[in-house]
Structure 1
Amino acid sequence: MEPDEGISEQDVRDLMDVFTRVPSLVLKMMVKRNENVVRTFETQVMDHYQHLTPEERIKVGKVLEIPVSELQRILQNVYLETHQKQLKILADPSAEPFITQNLQELRKILNESPL
């Protein structure tokens, strides 16, 4: 991925395992409670980030820059193709505060990190 490209539906499909690790019922509860899962799992998030390739880190940066509404549109489109319940949950407009909060927390920990 070139640095000036955005996040695509293919990128989401390529990362499907990230979305499906959490059972849909658990994800739905987390979204409903607006839980800050990035903060809760900060150590694991940073460990995973340290093992990303430069291209994958660029994608993370693009996700952090994209408006949540656009990200949710992409998630919705991939959901329509894959029928993964987790994508449907995240694409729902009610998940916007959850996504926003967790992206903000991810920005914060990445900015504070010496990586």
Structure 2
Amino acid sequence: MSEEKLTYEDVEKYEKFFTLAPPFLLERFAKKNTNLVLKFKSKVQSFVDGLDENDKEKLNILLDTDTDELQVLMNEAYEHSGKKQYKILANPEYKEFIEINLNELGNLINS
């Protein structure tokens, strides 16, 4: 695993991606542990295909980062931006939702 850590600036760069779904929908998906990567596979694949090498490295760091650590980062993003989607993603109750989607993202990248 890389020693590099993700920062709020890394998250901020992709804010549009994190905030595509309105908060009420994101929370509904999170409560149901919906696999959003699979649900929006073509859009996610298009996004991944458009990444440069630096961004792909950041994505690999994201995939290798512990979920608890990612949720701390989501909380930091919420504190900076006030975006409710980050608050939802920071909620420990939705850890499984994050893990499901990260695993699917990893599968998509490696296929």
Question: What is the TM-score of this pair, normalised by structure 1?
Answer: 0.90
Q: Is 1:90 the counterpart of 2:50 in the alignment?
A: no
Q: What RMSD over aligned residues (CA atoms) do the two structures have, in Å? A: 1.2
Unaligned runs of 5+ in 2: none
How much has 1:30 moved relative to structure 2? 0.4
CA distance in structure 1 between the aligned counterparts of 2:15 and 2:32, rounded to whole angstroms: 23
How much has 1:37 moved relative to structure 2? 0.7
Q: Identify which range, 82-91 or 40-49, moves more after superposition.
A: 40-49
Unaligned runs of 5+ in 1: none
Question: What is the TM-score of this pair, normalised by structure 2?
Answer: 0.93
2:68 aligns with 69
Which amino acid letter does the alignment assign opposite residue 13 of structure 1? E
Q: How many residues get paired? A: 110
1:46 aligns with 45
Q: Give CA deviations for 1:28-47 in whole Å, capped at 9, x if unaligned.
A: 10001100011111121111
CA distance in structure 2 between the aligned counterparts of 1:17 and 1:44, rounded to whole angstroms: 13
Which amino acid letter does the alignment assign opposite residue 48 of structure 1? F
Instruction: Give 3-state SS (helix, strand or coil) of 2:6's partner.
Output: coil
2:7 aligns with 8
CA distance in structure 2 between the aligned counterparts of 1:81 and 1:6, rounded to whole angstroms: 18
How much identity, in percent, do the aligned residues show? 31
Q: Give CA deviations for 1:70-97 in whole Å, capped at 9, x if unaligned.
A: 0000110121121110000000001100
How much has 1:18 moved relative to structure 2? 1.1
Structure 1 runs (4+) deviating above 6 angstroms are none
1:80 aligns with 79
